[in-house]
């Protein structure tokens, strides 16, 4: 088998920054540090942190101010009130929010100050979006939509009637094609459509690289957390080119039955996939290749 790595994949700037902050804390052997939510969507990493004394909580109720010295805010960010509440408990808050997500916070704050209704394209249950919504002020109407169908539904329900303007932001991991469709649709009947490009460059680059790689290989392995939005997007793109595309969390999920000896194997990884996990996957596929070369395993067609 030949293995091809996507030109761009794995840790993005924002994730690397937050992981570095946390690793330093472990290195310095600091005690009583927790993270607010898993700092990135990667179980291998959160398990590693846990084993080194850095646990995560998912709500303010779980934070005991007496036992907590520092709270690290996850890469996806958090609601403004969470950060404010932690600070008012006298806790040292280390803001690990990705700077690109912080920009989205500033944009929705500004838009809502200027009384723009806001359309957020993304997953309403994702921590990034929950955080973004937490920065909307002035009770302006806002909508979170996953796709064009949901926008059309809102239109049919009359939610956009009399709307003179709308501000649009997206989850940083969104796909541009979907976003374009929605903007095109709204341009038809809302007099002012103010779109902010908040898809982050790393997402752009990782997606661009798999667009290039997937059509050239026989099988694609996408590495990343099951809840990682950007990983899921990579999977969708790869799958659109290559039927044999698999989403795995780490090398343990690999199955030799997926591979043929002559395969060209493409590999990509979500922005929250540590390099060591990628390395383990590559190593494991090399072992499979050796096994298949020796004819010790059946071929899949």
Query: Per CB under 8 A, does 104 bind a copy of itself?
Result: no
- Kindly list the distances between the CA atom of residue 260 and the CA atoms of 148, 238, 285, in Å, as whole numbers in the listed order: 39, 18, 11
Residues 190-249 that bind a copy of itself (CB under 8 A): 190-197
DSSP 74: P
- Decide whether 137 or 187 has the Cβ nearer to a copy of itself: 187
Distance CA 159, CA 162 (A): 9
Q: What x/- string results for residues 29 through 58 when contact with a copy of itself is judged by CB under 8 A? A: ------------------------------
Report residue 3 CA to chain centroid gap: 25
> Shortest distance, CB of residue 58 to a copy of itself, whole angstroms?
32
Asked if 192 is an active-site residue, the reply is no
Distance CA 61, CA 83 (A): 13
Counting residues that bind a copy of itself (by CB under 8 A) gives: 16
> Shortest distance, CB of residue 165 to a copy of itself, whole angstroms?
9
The arrangement of strands across the sheet holding 245-248 comes to 2-5, 264-269, 219-223, 245-248
> Shortest distance, CB of residue 148 to a copy of itself, whole angstroms?
14
Distance CA 73, CA 84 (A): 12
Query: Per CB under 8 A, does 161 bind a copy of itself?
Result: no
Distance CA 242, CA 216 (A): 9
First to last CA, the chain: 15
Query: Per CB under 8 A, does 184 bind a copy of itself?
Result: yes
Query: Per CB under 8 A, does 115 bind a copy of itself?
Result: no
- Decide whether 192 or 255 has the Cβ nearer to a copy of itself: 192
> Shortest distance, CB of residue 269 to a copy of itself, whole angstroms?
24
Distance CA 130, CA 81 (A): 11
**Cβ(104)–Cβ(198) under 8 Å?**
yes
Q: Which stretch binds a copy of itself (CB under 8 A): 19-27, 36-44, 176-184, 210-218?
A: 176-184
Per annotation, catalytic residue among 2, 128, 149, 251: 128
Q: For a copy of itself, which residue of 39, 179, 222, 265 counts as binding (CB under 8 A)?
A: 179
- Decide whether 167 or 224 has the Cβ nearer to a copy of itself: 167
Burial of 99 per CB tally in 10 Å (0-12, 13-18, 19+):
exposed
**Cβ(186)–Cβ(217) under 8 Å?**
no
Burial of 108 per CB tally in 10 Å (0-12, 13-18, 19+):
buried
Q: For a copy of itself, which residue of 24, 159, 180, 298 counts as binding (CB under 8 A)?
A: 180
- Decide whether 169 or 269 has the Cβ nearer to a copy of itself: 169
> Shortest distance, CB of residue 124 to a copy of itself, whole angstroms?
23
HSE-up (13 A, CA, CB side) for residue 128 = 30
- Decide whether 26 or 148 has the Cβ nearer to a copy of itself: 148
Q: Which stretch binds a copy of itself (CB under 8 A): 1-9, 189-197, 234-242, 293-301?
A: 189-197
Could you list the active site residues?
128
Residues that bind a copy of itself (CB under 8 A): 176, 179-180, 183-184, 187-197
């Amino acid at each position: 088998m030949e293995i091809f790595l996507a030109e761009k994949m794995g840790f993005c700037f924002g994730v690397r920054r937050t992981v570095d902050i946390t690793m330093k804390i472990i290195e310095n052997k600091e005690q009583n540090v927790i993270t607010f939510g898993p700092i990135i969507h990667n179980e291998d990493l959160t398990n590693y942190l846990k084993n080194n004394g850095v646990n995560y909580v998912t709500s303010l109720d779980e934070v005991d101010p007496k036992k907590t010295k520092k709270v690290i805010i996850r890469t996806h960010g958090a609601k403004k009130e969470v950060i404010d509440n932690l600070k008012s408990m006298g806790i040292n808050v280390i803001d690990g929010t990705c700077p690109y997500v912080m920009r989205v916070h500033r944009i929705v704050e500004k838009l809502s100050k200027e009384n723009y209704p806001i359309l957020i394209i993304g997953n309403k249950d994702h921590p990034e979006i929950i955080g973004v919504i937490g920065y909307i002020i002035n009770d302006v109407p806002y909508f979170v939509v996953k796709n064009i169908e949901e926008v059309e539904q809102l239109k049919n329900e009359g939610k956009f009637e009399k709307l003179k303007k709308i501000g649009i932001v997206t989850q940083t991991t969104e796909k541009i094609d979907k976003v374009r469709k929605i903007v095109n649709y709204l341009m038809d009947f809302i007099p002012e459509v103010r779109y902010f490009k908040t898809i982050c460059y790393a997402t752009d680059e990782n997606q661009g690289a798999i667009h290039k790689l997937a059509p050239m290989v026989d099988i694609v392995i996408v590495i990343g957390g099951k809840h990682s939005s950007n990983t899921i997007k990579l999977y969708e793109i790869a799958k659109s080119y290559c039927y044999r595309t698999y989403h795995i969390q780490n090398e343990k999920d690999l199955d030799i039955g997926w591979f043929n000896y002559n395969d060209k194997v493409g590999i990509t990884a979500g922005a929250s996939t540590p390099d060591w996990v990628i390395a383990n996957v590559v190593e494991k596929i090399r072992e499979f290749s050796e096994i298949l070369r020796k004819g010790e395993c059946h071929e899949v067609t």
